Amino acid sequence: MASEVRQRAKAQSASPLGPLGIEAALEAKANPSIQPRPKIFDEFALTDRVAVVSGGNRGLGLEMAIALCEAGARAVYCFDLPEEPSEVFVASREYVSKLGNDSRLEYFAADVCDQQLLWKKVEEIGDKEQRLDICVAAAGILKPHIECLEYPADVFREVVEVNTTGVLFTAQAAGRQMARFGRGGSIILIASMSGSITNRDHAWVSYNSSKAAVLQMARSMACELGEKRIRVNSLSPGHIYTQMTAAYLDKQPHLLDKWSGMNPLGRLGRPDELRGVVTWLASDASTFCTGSDIIVSGGHHSW
């Protein structure tokens, strides 16, 4: 009976990379002809995979897209509102072309709030690449602080439309292709620590609400798509200095020290400090992780 259970459990969740860790050690013990080699980096490799990244023209989205390329993705398709990519995107695309791993960084213009356009564009990517494995929904906007009792309806709707509805439409577009090709996949919704805490000094009611909705969206989609081997997780950064937050901080320089002092590390985060976790979530190193929120906040929640 115990042997049967072990065999069923192994068959249920066998690694596509073959035996790993202890299992690999025991196999090598039983067969001295096997030459052990490190496999941990194989687990993180994204060789031949295809990804879409919203908000990928700059900032966190572009930073994550480059990381996926460095991990070996065949192509990473970034999209954003501008018809033409930014200079920093063009420089990043050139950088990726010189990595020597045949990875491609591509760009197309699209509004995350246009559901049918996104579905169509990502379907075209599926037709061209014949697979879709990774989605990073990173597009988002941030508005100046307005007292919650005075918050205008149009501003609230705009933030929620981009930060919540746009995330859903992006995840849908990618998930439809993942289901179509039957290989499973990883959908990563970029939320914020603001989705699970209240920022007392800058309580952006629309931003906090939209990001909280993304956390629940990831859990709900994970439950529904698990049987299709599509994993859905959220990634919640803390205070990161990007072009988006710079527009807010540069006008109120006193907030730099204040925000820096709100976590045990005593500083803001860098965009590149999210590279490792997004690559992990996209890769086979995290195949049992779904419905989770990964917080990268310098320990902000610890206080």
| Domain span at 156 | 47-302
Mean pLDDT of 10-17: 77
Number of domains composing the chain: 1
For the chain, the first-to-last Cα distance in angstroms comes to 49
Reported as a pLDDT band with limits 50, 70 and 90, residue 48 is: very high
pTM, full prediction:
0.93
Can 128 be counted among the known catalytic residues? no
CA 196/CA 218 separation, integer angstroms: 14
Q: Return mean pLDDT, the chain.
A: 92
Q: Which one of 206, 207, 210, 234 is the catalytic residue?
A: 207
Written as six digits, the tokens of 235 are: 């990634």
The enclosing domain of 221 has a CATH number of 3.40.50.720
Dist CA 21 CA 39 (whole Å): 8
Q: Is 79 part of a structural domain of the chain? A: yes
Which pLDDT tens digit goes with each residue over 107-136? Answer: 999 999 999 999 999 999 999 999 999 999
| DSSP secondary structure letters along 67-108 | HHHHTT-SEEEEEESSSS--HHHHHHHHHHHTSSS--EEEEE
Query: Is residue 201 very low, low, confident or very high in pLDDT (cuts 50, 70, 90)?
Result: low
Find the catalytic residue in 92, 103, 186, 192.
192
Residue listed under structure tokens 């917080």: 295
Q: Residues 226-284: pLDDT tens digits?
A: 999 999 999 999 988 887 777 777 888 888 888 888 999 999 999 999 999 999 999 99
Q: What percent of the chain has pLDDT over 90?
A: 74
Annotated catalytic, 120? no
> Does any domain span residue 181?
yes
Query: Which residue in 121, 194, 211, 292 is the catalytic one?
Result: 211
Q: Please report, for residues 14, 145, 198, 209, 248, the alpha-carbon distance to residue 148 in angstroms, rounded to integers and kept in the order given.
A: 50, 9, 13, 11, 18
Is residue 177 one of the residues assigned to a domain? Answer: yes
Q: Give the residue-averaged pLDDT of 9-14.
A: 72
Establish whether 192 is a catalytic residue.
yes
